[in-house]
Structure 1
Amino acid sequence: MTRAQQIGVVIGLVVVAALTWLRANDPEPLKIAREATFDQYQRWAPRAFEPMPVRVVDIDEASLRQFGQWPWPRDRLAALVDALAQMGASSIAFDILFAEPDRLSPRNVVRNVAGIDPGLLRQLPDNDELFAGSIVGNPVVLGFGLSNQGTHKPQVKAGFAFTGESPLAAPPHMRAATPLRPQLEANAAGIGHISLNPRKSSAVVRSVPLLVSDGEQLYPSLALEALRVAQGASTYLVLGAPNTPGTITAVKIGDFVVPTTAAGELWLYVSRDRAERYVSASDILAPGGPSAAVKAAIEDSIVFIGTSAAGLQDIRTTALGQNVPGVSLHAQIVEQILSGRFLSRPDWADGLEILSVAILSGLLVVLTIFVSPAIALAAGLLLTVCALVASWLAFSVEGLLFDPLAPLAAGTVTHFAATSFRFLVTDRERREIRRAFGQYLSPTLLYRIEHTRNALRLGGDDRELTVMFVDVRNFTTMSERLSPTALVGFLNTLLDALSRHVIANEGTLDKFIGDSIMAFWNAPLDVPDHCAKAVRAALAMRETLAELNARDAFGFGPEHKIAIGIGIHTGLACVGNMGAETRFNYSAVGDTVNVTARIESACKEVGFDILVSADAAKALTGHALLDAGALALRGKSDRTNVCAVIGDGQVAAFQEFAELQAIHARLVEALRSRSAASRKLASAAKFTAARLPVQLHEFYDRIWRRSGHFTMDEAGNGQLRQATDPGGSEMTSF
């Protein structure tokens, strides 16, 4: 592990720790995002509406038009209770507060009239007494609101039994309650709180407290009381977690068990608002009595009385984004309990999400720093998809609520931080390598350098190289007749086309020297079969030059063909960064480089375009090669044996090459023995070579012209060499 990677891991772990701490503290933005996710799940798969014995008697706009504005006198509410009881409602729950006397009661209307006889006053009807009388003996549940003022506590009409530790500290705390009219409170069969989301800032009702507590007593919600009264139950059984004080797991009401949060809240799983859920109060109090359909809807149903009239401002927002009357949510609570379709967020969900943040973020740090940001991104996306799918399946199949956004957001932040650090610090060395070598190496070789630790050591390094020199023939003559601009254009076209083959065959472009190219293989990294790849590049250059000449790419006319010479040699050389501290080149130096340059120059004397040394030829198994003799190179005491590269393995498999190879072997033997048959064999070889896709006529023409001029070797050992030709260059010797 490099120091940069160590620093990256430390910084990454700090980010992971910060994100894990942030999720553990669960700030408000994370809660909002999580709740919005759960809302979206409900929008995709809301609870299906099923016909249930639950109805809402709605004091709607039609009822207000028929019976006048709200509040109605309580004798009308008494008539409503009597009518519902006669139709067989199993319980009647009011989502209405009765905290003050009925101001429309006749007794209250005339109470302040001057001179009124007190006896007469007592004879006037009191609507509160009428309403209280209608409640007696009927399954009526009244509601109370939570208050921060006063000390009033409502009556508790049911008993509470506990399992496990005391749950009194678990539900939302109730300081006080809005007082009910005493006679109404005394006569009601049940009393429950009507608060849907007390002390919650969100306008969306997502969970509702089934119980509230003053620290000494539990108080049920309106919906629970309506369900209890409908069943005729007398006691609630509150189930707590073993060995965990102040925790609620479920509430049992008669035949129904309702799973809750630790605070005794129910996650609302709402269905879309449906007209079938509502019965207008005007239809109940119709002058001719309710219709048969209305009676059937009310019979044996749990009835909630409330209002949907816009002016009465009892409108709430559900997770589905619908604005509905608050009374309908009480009805949906009972529907949800009757259907058994619950949502649950397990107590260990927070722990699982915190752990997933730590694990996912840590994994992305490791992948980004040590492997690749792209792979880390792919892994992060895969894990994100898995988290989203798992969260959705948990909701849709089991009704479990798991937050996929916390690990997703943490993974995004971690990946961004780790990628930024890697780009700024860890990858700086790779970028420097790419800038230095991007123009000289193949992408494959450059990738290996970037991802191989200590692959590139700056400075001199002795290693076996295959070196190549490429030179344009007759360049001096050509440059005399071309303008500088035309000459540069010609060189750019030619050298660009030829150098591409060096890169494509994993070679390193060393430099351009005027009209020449120097390249080498097997540095800065090991390249398997480097000699064969160099020859492959040379053969590709031969084909590319033929194509350029055929289409007159240089604009010199079809009669002016460009020719090149290529020399290749394998041997030990010193390779590394050469030059000054502030300006250097990656290059190779040594005798191997000098020999290669002279082999390339000898292509003119030999009359062939690609020559390789005997050392390089040893590694070229399967190639089509011919012995080109021994070169007397300047500065070398011994001659250097070279071979002409006719082609690759495909050419070596030609029948014509086999015939040429046999004739050439006899020709070499004849030249070495000064046989008179050498000229005839040279002509025969030239004739046979004409059937191959390689130009060999100049090669054999030179052998034919010089085959009759032999002298003894200066060493006097009987070895033969050719005499110098008129140009003064030493010939090859066989």
Structure 2
Amino acid sequence: MAGFAALAVVMLVAAGNPMPLQRAEAIAFDTFQRIAPWQGQPVSRVAVVDIDEESIRRSGQWPWPRTELATLTRRLGEAGAKVVAYDIVFSEADRTSPEAVAARYPQSPLAPTLLTLPSHDRLFVESFDKVPVVAGYFFLGPGEGGSDVEARASFTIAGTLPERDVATYAGALRPLPLIEQAAAGTGFVTLQGDDDGIVRRVPLTAIQGGKPLPGLALEAVRMALGAGSPNLLASDGTGETLASPGAAVSIRVGPAEIPLTDAGEMWVHYAATPRTETLPAWRIIGGDISDAALKAAVAGKIVFVGGSAEGLQDLVATPLSQSVAGVNVHAAAAEQILAGHYLERPDWAGALEGLLAVLAGAGLALLLPRLGAALGALAALGLIVASGFSSWLAFTRAGYLLDPVLPVLAILAVYAVQTVAAFYREEHQRRFIHAAFDRYLSPELVRQIAADPGKLELGGEERDMSVMMCDIRGFSRISERYSPREVIEFLIAFLTPMSAILFAHKATLDKYIGDAILAFWNAPLDDPDHPVHAARAALAMIDETRALNAAMAQQDEVPWPGEVEIGIGLNAGLCCVGNMGSRERLSYTLIGDTVNVASRLEGLTKLYGVPVIMGEALALRLPDFAVIELDRVRVVGRDAPMAIYALLGDERLRAEASFAAMAASHAAMLEAYRAQTWPQALAALEGAKPHFARFGIASLGALFADRIASLSVNPPDKDWDGTYQATAK
């Protein structure tokens, strides 16, 4: 759901087409162009005459006398140029013309003679007889004045005039009427870069005076092709019923149909190095280039004349260059039109990008929870690469500009948000685990569970477990002896080291029941050696109790009732463990007959006078420990009898000869006892009694001595199997 929410936010933001998204899209397309610039045609059909810094140095400060440009135009025409298009607005009369000089110096004796000489502008216009010329004009902003422009070949429009998106201007800075009327065509030279100043598209049409007008490149191509009026196809002229008016679609001029953006612009696919022939203006004007060489360079071509000199202020940035003459941009557009090579962003591109973003984002949102962090990162990276590669293929194979940014942004947003959400969820789960278990498990177990929550299966599950019930003997008398606060202080002093022992032996501390402790092993983490850990914990608790009795007797801060004794019941078997309780309150605990028996065994420690009693299932798993069978008992609440065992020590005790002698004597006593051969049982018991004292279970000998004496007087039935019926818990 976090991934879907992130995807929804991305799509909502993208619907508004914010500037950062537009900038990212532009950067992606620029990158494609840098990697795969246009290779151009084998033979270019466009040339450029560049008024460069060297031309300014040789011919003087701009603007030059129009006679210089007349020479330039005439030579280009004589060399066979198809069309000459000036990326220059000749809006002012030539200040070096004879009549202008005569007007400035009317008292000069040369003034009458100057007035008889032809105007430079007239000489410039006369050069138009050699070649069709396209004169440029510049659109002005609001409040800057200007005048209306009349196109030489009016557009025909299929649909409604696309005023919604195509740039509209109030007026234009036009050439002198003499020049404009003599020119075979006129086209605007206005270039508008994007917000970052980069010119990625060339406008082929704009609206002024309620009419569409052609750009310089379009008008030059129209004249070179000998075409009539260009046809502008608007969005509502496509025949598609869902199309709304206001956007440009394409322009048809002669055999060429040029795809446009909604704003009437043409995407330019720039070449790494200009494919057009570029000639410095000074070489043509000064005669440095021969007529033959000039003819080879410009014959049959559209020749654009413009300037790269900094003083002309016609330098722009493109995806491939920080500074290039604007005339080269017009020339690149014309070259592409003539070659039929277009970059196009189809009207269905946005819908496809949105669909891909939704599919990729939703798919990743569904996959991430199943894949995990590492595979999820690989999946996200794979989707990003696939999006970029698909856009790249569309660019290189079909000339389509399909934006990879939106799908990539959707993928990144879904991955980032979902990863953060997963991290938060895991941290929350870890905090929950710590809160739930750090008071019941050893710190090491809590760290393991927090590091890998998969080891913890919440909810009820059956497990083979070891269970301990530990109780303080005579606690009621202790409670009677002390105040409630003193009882609490005593319990804290006793339970704290006992809990530490349990944690050290990998136990899960289920609960404190007054003075009793319920603990278990093999949940929530697997513990294959849980019987051994339970046995060692029980023995350590007995030793710790003795140590506490000795230590606490030497202090007065904590009340300590003399010799404290504990009884421990151990059992092993199947239990159901997990989060149990009500919907409002849960507790991680366990239930089952194994738990109940452990509690009964703890109660029998007082009867048999041994500190630790365990069931047969656990005793059989401790072959190396000092264990003896105590008796066969039917505990309260159970019908089936069970053998019970005393845990007296670990492997070292079992290896002692004294333990082996005691165990053998006690086993012989039990055998005779169950066979109802009372004299032999009594004799074996007498042999075991000294050993009982050695191991601190002298009361066990007294218990069986009383039983043998009683049963020898009142024998049980012949089928008696030696089972003792417990009457108390």
TM more than 0.5: yes
The answer for the alignment partner of 1:24 in structure 2 is: 15
Residue pair 2:269, 2:342 contacting (<8 A) in 1 also: yes
Pick from 29, 40, 45: which aligns with 1:38?
A: 29
Displacement of 1:197 in angstroms is 1.7
The answer for the alignment partner of 1:185 in structure 2 is: 180
The answer for the alignment partner of 2:486 in structure 1 is: none
Gaps of 5+ in 2: 471-493, 539-567, 622-626, 647-666, 682-694, 696-703
Q: Distance in 2 between matches of 1:56 and 1:307?
A: 10
Alignment CA distance shift 1:630-1:666 (3 Å): closer
Question: What CA deviation, in whole Å up to 9, does each residue of 1:431-451 have, x standing for no partner?
Answer: 435521367577679846988
Displacement of 1:219 in angstroms is 1.7
Residue pair 2:631, 2:670 contacting (<8 A) in 1 also: no
Residue pair 2:82, 2:131 contacting (<8 A) in 1 also: no
Displacement of 1:64 in angstroms is 1.2
SS at match of 2:103: coil
Is residue 2:277 matched to residue 1:282? Answer: no
Residue pair 1:627, 1:642 contacting (<8 A) in 2 also: no
Q: Distance in 2 between matches of 1:143 and 1:607?
A: 114
Q: Distance in 2 between matches of 1:48 and 1:603?
A: 96
The answer for the alignment partner of 2:159 in structure 1 is: 165
Alignment CA distance shift 1:38-1:573 (3 Å): closer
Residue pair 1:538, 1:566 contacting (<8 A) in 2 also: no
Residue pair 2:578, 2:590 contacting (<8 A) in 1 also: yes
Alignment CA distance shift 1:269-1:250 (3 Å): same
Q: Distance in 1 between matches of 2:249 and 2:205?
A: 12
Question: What CA deviation, in whole Å up to 9, does each residue of 1:524-563 have, x standing for no partner?
Answer: xxx9xx9xx7764325788999xxxxxxxxxxxxxxxxxx
Q: Distance in 2 between matches of 1:715 and 1:404?
A: 96
Superposition pairs of residues 396-435 of structure 1, within 5 angstroms: 396-409=396-409, 431-435=431-435
Superposition pairs of residues 118-517 of structure 1, within 5 angstroms: 120-148=113-141, 149-156=145-152, 158=153, 160-162=155-157, 164-167=158-161, 169=163, 171-197=166-192, 201-214=195-208, 216-240=210-234, 241-243=238-240, 244=243, 245-274=245-274, 277-290=277-290, 293-355=293-355, 383-409=383-409, 431-437=431-437, 447=453, 455=459, 466-469=465-468, 498-499=505-506, 508-510=508-510
Q: Distance in 2 between matches of 1:602 and 1:543?
A: 20
Q: Distance in 1 between matches of 2:723 and 2:173?
A: 125
SS at match of 2:169: coil
Alignment CA distance shift 1:246-1:490 (3 Å): closer
Residue pair 1:93, 1:142 contacting (<8 A) in 2 also: yes
Alignment CA distance shift 1:712-1:42 (3 Å): farther
Displacement of 1:78 in angstroms is 0.7
Superposition pairs of residues 571-586 of structure 1, within 5 angstroms: 586=588
Is residue 2:85 matched to residue 1:90? Answer: no
The answer for the alignment partner of 1:80 in structure 2 is: 72
Gaps of 5+ in 1: 457-461, 472-486, 503-507, 546-564, 621-625, 646-664, 679-697, 699-706, 724-729
Is residue 2:108 matched to residue 1:108? Answer: no
Displacement of 1:352 in angstroms is 3.7
Partner amino acid for 2:208? D
Displacement of 1:135 in angstroms is 0.5
Pick from 573, 587, 593: which aligns with 2:595?
A: 593
Q: Distance in 2 between matches of 1:151 and 1:295?
A: 38
Residue pair 2:364, 2:380 contacting (<8 A) in 1 also: yes
Displacement of 1:357 in angstroms is 5.6
Q: Distance in 2 between matches of 1:201 and 1:79?
A: 40
The answer for the alignment partner of 1:659 in structure 2 is: none
Alignment CA distance shift 1:644-1:144 (3 Å): farther
Alignment CA distance shift 1:120-1:468 (3 Å): same
Q: Distance in 2 between matches of 1:628 and 1:669?
A: 11
Q: Distance in 1 between matches of 2:103 and 2:631?
A: 138
Residue pair 2:505, 2:534 contacting (<8 A) in 1 also: yes
Question: What CA deviation, in whole Å up to 9, does each residue of 1:489-535 have, x standing for no partner?
Answer: 99999755631xx6xxxxx543699xx99543798xxx9xx9xx776
Residue pair 2:134, 2:183 contacting (<8 A) in 1 also: yes
Residue pair 2:137, 2:175 contacting (<8 A) in 1 also: yes
The answer for the alignment partner of 2:664 in structure 1 is: none
Partner amino acid for 1:86? E
Residue pair 2:102, 2:111 contacting (<8 A) in 1 also: no
Superposition pairs of residues 4-15 of structure 1, within 5 angstroms: none
Alignment CA distance shift 1:355-1:289 (3 Å): closer
Q: Distance in 1 between matches of 2:715 and 2:223?
A: 128
Residue pair 1:628, 1:643 contacting (<8 A) in 2 also: yes
Displacement of 1:633 in angstroms is 8.2
Displacement of 1:587 in angstroms is 4.5
Displacement of 1:183 in angstroms is 2.4
Alignment CA distance shift 1:609-1:269 (3 Å): farther
Q: Distance in 2 between matches of 1:161 and 1:576?
A: 79
Q: Distance in 2 between matches of 1:576 and 1:535?
A: 22
Residue pair 2:38, 2:271 contacting (<8 A) in 1 also: yes
Question: What CA deviation, in whole Å up to 9, does each residue of 1:296-354 have, x standing for no partner?
Answer: 22233221111111122111000224311111101111222244432221222333444
Question: What CA deviation, in whole Å up to 9, does each residue of 1:75-101 have, x standing for no partner?
Answer: 110100111122222221111101111
Q: Distance in 2 between matches of 1:228 and 1:574?
A: 87
Displacement of 1:208 in angstroms is 1.6
Residue pair 1:105, 1:128 contacting (<8 A) in 2 also: yes
Name the TM-score, length of structure 2 as normaliser. Answer: 0.67
Q: Distance in 2 between matches of 1:463 and 1:81?
A: 99
Aligned length in residues:
634
Residue pair 1:92, 1:304 contacting (<8 A) in 2 also: yes
Q: Distance in 2 between matches of 1:277 and 1:577?
A: 86
Alignment CA distance shift 1:221-1:463 (3 Å): closer
Bigger shift: 74-83 or 320-329?
320-329
Residue pair 1:192, 1:219 contacting (<8 A) in 2 also: yes
Residue pair 1:711, 1:720 contacting (<8 A) in 2 also: no
Q: Distance in 2 between matches of 1:403 and 1:575?
A: 52
Displacement of 1:104 in angstroms is 1.1
Percent identity over the alignment is 32
SS at match of 1:100: coil
Alignment CA distance shift 1:93-1:498 (3 Å): same
Q: Distance in 1 between matches of 2:302 and 2:280?
A: 15
SS at match of 1:271: coil
Name the TM-score, length of structure 1 as normaliser. Answer: 0.67
SS at match of 1:145: strand
Question: What CA deviation, in whole Å up to 9, does each residue of 1:205-256 have, x standing for no partner?
Answer: 1112111223643321111122222222233233442254444332233333
The answer for the alignment partner of 2:546 in structure 1 is: none
SS at match of 2:168: coil
Alignment CA distance shift 1:569-1:233 (3 Å): same
Displacement of 1:270 in angstroms is 1.2
Q: Distance in 1 between matches of 2:37 and 2:215?
A: 24
Bigger shift: 379-388 or 275-284?
379-388
Alignment CA distance shift 1:292-1:168 (3 Å): same
Alignment CA distance shift 1:639-1:165 (3 Å): closer
